Amino acid sequence: MKPELKNALETLDKELPDVMGAFRSLQAAATANGVLDAKTKKLMMVAVTAALRCEPCMREQVKGALQLGASREEILEAAGVAILIGGGPTAAYCALYLMDELNNANTGGQNGV
């Protein structure tokens, strides 16, 4: 995560502790293992963040999916679902940022996040 985003989120947490605390609780509940495992949920989050075109969100979800054992092919398939929903703008977004994050993961670097 980029330092400026991390700092901004920490500030938001201080300014809106009830909201951000509730958000963290929701995040923990929604991503906990259930009928769907954590990797499947993370791939869903890759697709949703790509469709919404939230670059820092998507980069974090791609990293998380890789850490949970998702393959490049699984992540790209999730991107395909995002492109179906989001159309041309999402295709361009995935071509630029999702591919950058995947390629960066293969080289061990740390781009946008």
Phi, psi of 33, deg, nearest 5: -60, 135
Q: What is the pLDDT of residue 3?
A: 86
**CATH code of the domain covering residue 52:** 1.20.1290.10
In a domain, 51, yes or no: yes
13 domain residue, yes or no: no
Q: Cα angle at 88 between 82 and 53, to 5 degrees?
A: 50
Amino acid occupying residue 49:
T
pLDDT in tens, 60-112: 999 999 999 999 999 999 999 999 999 998 999 999 999 999 999 877 655 55
Specify the pTM.
0.83
* Domain assignment present for 30: no
Q: What is the pLDDT of residues 4-47, one digit of tens each?
A: 888 999 999 999 999 999 999 999 999 999 999 999 999 999 99
Does 59 fall in a domain?
Answer: yes
Beta-carbon count within 10 A of 108 CB: 6
The DSSP call for residue 112 is -
How many domains are contained in the chain?
1
